[in-house]
Amino acid sequence: MKPVLIYITTASAAEAEEIARALLEARLIASANIIPGAVSLYRWQGKIEEAAECVLIAKTREGLADAAVQRAEQMHSYECPGILVLPVQSGSADYLDWIADETGDLK
């Protein structure tokens, strides 16, 4: 099992929670952290923009990442959602096992 993190910026904590709950219910992720209060600076349509955002970090395995990204994109309010899949090189063996268990087939 190759663990990955999915980094998602959202317009609000409520949107982040809605996406996280849907991904959890579908067993596409094992857990999520919602971090409100992010200030994002970015170039959009030729202008530099600034926005208050929320960061959602989801933990899953590589084999589910594409499906989780697609589901998050479907639910997202942005025209161009900021979603990245980041590899995890290592971590606590027990935690990595837990991610694998929680994203596995229902028993």
Is 59 inside a domain boundary?
yes
Q: Tell me the pTM.
A: 0.94
Q: State the Cα–Cα distance between residues 18 and 90, nearest whole angstrom.
A: 29
Residue 17 domain flag: yes
Contacts of residue 53, Cβ cutoff 8 Å, sequence gap at least 6:
9, 10, 11, 38, 39, 40
Q: Indicate the pairing of strand 31-44 with strand 47-61.
A: antiparallel
Query: What is the band of 1 on the pLDDT scale with cuts at 50, 70, 90?
Result: confident
Residue 15 lies in a domain: yes
Give residue-wise pLDDT tens across range 76-104.
999 999 999 999 999 999 999 999 999 98
Domain count across the chain: 1
Looking at this protein, which amino acid is placed at residue 88? V
107 is a domain residue: no
Residue 107 has pLDDT above 60, yes or no: no
The whole-number pLDDT of residue 105 equals 65
Using 50, 70 and 90 to split pLDDT, how confident is the model at 106? low
Alpha-carbon distance of 53 to 77, in angstroms, equals: 12
User: The domain containing residue 28 runs over which residues?
Assistant: 3-102
Sign of CA dihedral 67, 73, 76, 48: positive
Strand order in the sheet with 47-61: 31-44, 47-61, 3-10, 83-87
Cα–Cα distance, 37 to 57 (Å, whole number): 14
**CATH number for the domain harbouring residue 98:** 3.30.70.120
